[in-house]
């Protein structure tokens, strides 16, 4: 059971949570498993029985360092989506999660549409984007990011008539509950709550129909191919790889 703890939370955040069907709590009930709460001017996810919090920070922390010193177009994700000369890809991130790669691509000039079906992940992302839009160092980046709460498969199979994306980017959550590194323990709550994207295989075919230039699938380095389909090309990272598929004929 998860809900939003309302003390200190802005009215707008409470209304968004209500619209997502999440309960609003004055105090944490005994049967709560996770809590969304407002802390230090941001929304965060907290497991009620464990330590650790998850929140989206596009302004500071690791993403600020990556924005300044991450390597620009030399980063594997940037190479994978196909920057070339003056060409800046239009990207659909169909499994947005915490939006980290989407933010990196937007910081390099891409316009990125993000799809996220989990109301909790969407609320955390929305909060991160609002704060990024209000910071002078990230406002221009946030302006290139559009977040939608929707199921990726449904959206991909019935996209808007004017949808035009050079790249469809898929980073489905890969369920490895017994292999989480201790350094990533704070992410366990998010991964457990959101769960593995067991229907991710179904995203590849409609993504290949929509993408004008390529579909990029981010995978753990030794994970199987999405939908069992061999990619047309691969960009390797340190612990992940980026499988590239050409548009469907």
CA 171/CA 96 separation, integer angstroms: 7
Domains and CATH numbers, the chain: 2-47 (no CATH), 61-245 (3.40.50.150)
Beta strands 145-149 and 24-25 are unpaired
Q: At what angle do helices 119-133 and 11-19 cross, to 10 degrees?
A: 150
Q: Quick one: pLDDT at residue 177? A: 46
Considering only CA atoms, which of 113, 205, 197 is closest in space to residue 162?
113
Tell me if 87 sits within 8 A of 111, measured CB to CB. no
Q: Quick one: pLDDT at residue 139? A: 97
Q: Within the chain, which residues score under 50 in pLDDT? A: 177-183
Summarised one tens digit per residue, pLDDT across range 151-195 is 999 999 999 999 999 999 999 986 554 444 443 555 666 766 666
Tokens read off for 138: 């990230």
Q: Quick one: pLDDT at residue 226? A: 96
Summarised one tens digit per residue, pLDDT across range 39-51 is 999 999 998 777 7
Tokens read off for 160: 């808007």
The model's pTM is: 0.92
């Amino acid at each position: 059971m998860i809900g939003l703890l309302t003390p200190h939370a802005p009215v707008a955040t409470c209304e968004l949570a209500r619209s997502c069907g999440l309960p609003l709590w004055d105090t944490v009930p005994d049967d709560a498993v996770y809590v969304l709460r407002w802390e230090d001017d941001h929304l965060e996810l907290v497991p009620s029985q464990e330590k650790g919090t998850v929140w989206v920070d596009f302004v500071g922390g690791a993403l600020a360092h990556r924005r300044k010193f991450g390597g620009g177009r030399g980063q594997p994700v940037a190479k994978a989506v196909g920057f070339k000369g003056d060409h800046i890809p239009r990207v659909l991130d169909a499994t947005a999660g915490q939006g980290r790669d989407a933010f990196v691509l937007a910081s390099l000039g891409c316009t990125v549409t993000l799809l996220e079906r989990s109301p909790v992940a969407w609320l955390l992302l929305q909060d991160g984007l609002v704060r990024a839009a209000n910071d002078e160092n990230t406002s221009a980046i946030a302006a290139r990011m559009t977040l939608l709460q929707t199921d990726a498969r449904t959206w991909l199979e019935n996209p808007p008539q004017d949808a035009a994306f050079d790249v469809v980017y898929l980073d489905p959550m890969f369920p490895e509950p017994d292999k989480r590194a201790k350094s990533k323990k704070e992410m366990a709550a998010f991964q457990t709550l959101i769960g593995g994207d067991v229907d991710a295989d179904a995203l590849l075919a409609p993504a290949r129909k929509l993408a004008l230039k390529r579909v990029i699938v981010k995978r753990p380095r030794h994970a199987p191919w999405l939908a069992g389909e061999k990619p047309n090309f691969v960009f390797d990272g340190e612990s992940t790889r980026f499988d590239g598929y050409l548009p469907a004929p």
